[in-house]
């Protein structure tokens, strides 16, 4: 069955450092993979989408990599700030099946 694993439920990072979150998937052949941010009690907010033929994508302090051989995506936040504290969710999506399923998320806390 399809499975999405995100590293550790919680991750604590010192302010100013780079936070790296991992998303591993099995039994997917994703055409693309998305990352979302969710704050407590709110709906998720889209951050980045990376396609299968893209190795890396950047947006301001965010960087996403996508390795279809390893079946893994890495999500980096550089120069992290306390405002980056949130839960981050990944969602790989197979081509032709737009049902979007999410990993359980990683709760990131940036410590001042």
Partner 1 sequence: KAGVTQTPRYLIKTRGQQVTLSCSPISGHRSVSWYQQTPGQGLQFLFEYFSETQRNKGNFPGRFSGRQFSNSRSEMNVSTLELGDSALYLCASRTGEPGELFFGEGSRLTVL
**Under the rule (CB under 8 A), what is the footprint of partner 1?**
31-32, 34, 36, 41-46, 49, 89, 93, 97-105
Residue 17: count other Cβ atoms within 10 Å of its Cβ. Answer: 13
Taking the least distance from each CB to partner 1, the nearer of 25 and 80 is 25
Token representation of residue 48? 């980045």
| 35-42-80 Cα angle (round to 5) | 50
Min dist. Cβ of residue 39 to partner 1 (A): 11
Min dist. Cβ of residue 112 to partner 1 (A): 26
Place of tokens 């907010």: 45
Taking the least distance from each CB to partner 1, the nearer of 35 and 80 is 35
Taking the least distance from each CB to partner 1, the nearer of 30 and 110 is 30
Give the end-to-end CA distance of the chain in Å, rounded to a whole number: 40
Min dist. Cβ of residue 67 to partner 1 (A): 20
How far, in Å, CA of 85 to CA of 108, rounded?
A: 5
Min dist. Cβ of residue 52 to partner 1 (A): 12
């Amino acid at each position: 069955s399809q499975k999405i694993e995100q590293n550790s439920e919680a991750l604590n990072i010192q302010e100013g450092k780079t936070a790296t979150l991992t998303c591993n998937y099995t039994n997917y052949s994703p055409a693309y993979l998305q990352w979302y941010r969710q704050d407590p009690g709110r709906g998720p907010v889209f951050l980045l989408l990376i396609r299968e033929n893209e190795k890396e994508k950047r947006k301001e302090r965010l960087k996403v990599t996508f390795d279809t051989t390893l079946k893994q995506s890495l999500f980096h936040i550089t120069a992290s700030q306390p405002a980056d504290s949130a839960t981050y969710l990944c969602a790989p999506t197979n081509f032709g099946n737009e049902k979007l399923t999410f990993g359980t998320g990683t709760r990131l806390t940036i410590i001042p």
